Amino acid sequence: MPYSIAIDGPAGAGKSTIARAVARELGFVYVDTGAMYRAVGFYCLSEGIPIRTEERVCEAVRDITVRIAYDAAGEQRVYLNGEDVSVRIRTQEVGDAASTVSQYPLVREKLVALQQQLARESSVVMDGRDIGTKVLPQANLKIYLTASEEVRAERRFRELREKGQRISLPEVLREVRERDYRDMHREHSPLRQAADAVLLDASALSIDETIDAILALLDRTT
């Protein structure tokens, strides 16, 4: 029977990096749910659809397909209407758009159904904002991965600068705080720690230390 690990937490906590590494260590399928919402945000930005107009976004979502696949190296690829957009969805602008469109029930309904199907078919490590509370409420292990605002902003700042984006650390910190507020106060499936999730603050932990902490938790639950 498939085994599922749900990792939730705020933007910049390192969820995707950690979840991908844990999945690789265990031989599970990694599912980056945030990438799926980024694909929707990317589509809206590309087509000039106003992301703050729920009716227009939901109308557009009915006509698009978002698909997850894996390449020969086992890396997740995201396809929007059959086109690989895995690289183009990784900008700050697309991330902000994803945070907005993910608030809309129809968008969430469409993508959650796909995420749940993946978990029924394979053992998964899935990260996002509402995995333990909404997408996989019966997950075998739930983790709420977080870090301080300052640490998360610094990590995001370095990542964006390495990609050649011109942005200041104060700007990134402001965006982190704004995104936290949107994610935690949205009407549908807000970001929160599931009652049965383990809180893991990685502010002072390296990537390897965080991975080891999760694997240790897994050992205690199996």
pLDDT for 222 equals 65
* Residue 163: count of CB within 10 angstroms of its CB: 11
Question: What residue spans of the chain are helical by DSSP H?
Answer: 15-26, 33-47, 54-61, 92-101, 105-121, 149-162, 169-185, 207-221
Q: In the chain, how many domains are there?
A: 1
Given a cut of 90, whether residue 210 has pLDDT beyond it is: yes
- CA-CA distance, 23 to 31, in Å (whole number)? 9
Over residues 3-21, mean pLDDT: 93
Given a cut of 90, whether residue 32 has pLDDT beyond it is: no
Q: Shortest CA distance to 156 belongs to which of 17, 8, 1, 7?
A: 17
Residue 161 forms part of a structural domain:
yes
At 101-134, the pLDDT tens digits run 988 999 999 999 989 988 998 899 999 889 999 9
Residue 117 forms part of a structural domain:
yes
- The torsion angle over the Cα atoms of residues 214, 11, 2 and 137, rounded to 10 degrees, is 100
The model carries a pTM of 0.81
Task: List the 83-84 sheet strands across, edge first.
Answer: 66-70, 76-80, 83-84
The helices-and-strands tally (H runs, E runs) of the chain is 8, 8
User: Please, what's the b/e burial string for 175-184 (b: 16 or more CB within 10 A of its CB; e: otherwise)?
Assistant: bbeebbebbe
Q: What is the CA radius of gyration of the chain?
A: 17
Residue 108 forms part of a structural domain:
yes
Phi and psi at residue 153, in whole multiples of 5°?
-65, -40
Print the domain residue range for 175. Answer: 4-217
pLDDT for 138 equals 95
Residue 100 forms part of a structural domain:
yes
CATH of residue 86's domain is 3.40.50.300
At 179-209, the pLDDT tens digits run 899 889 888 788 999 999 999 999 999 999 9
* Residue 77: count of CB within 10 angstroms of its CB: 14
Q: Is residue 162 within 8 Å of 174, Cβ to Cβ?
A: no
pLDDT band at 164 (very low <50, low <70, confident <90, very high): confident
Given a cut of 90, whether residue 54 has pLDDT beyond it is: yes
Residue 222 forms part of a structural domain:
no
pLDDT band at 219 (very low <50, low <70, confident <90, very high): confident
pLDDT band at 72 (very low <50, low <70, confident <90, very high): confident
* Chain-centre distance for alpha carbon 194: 16
Residue 147 forms part of a structural domain:
yes
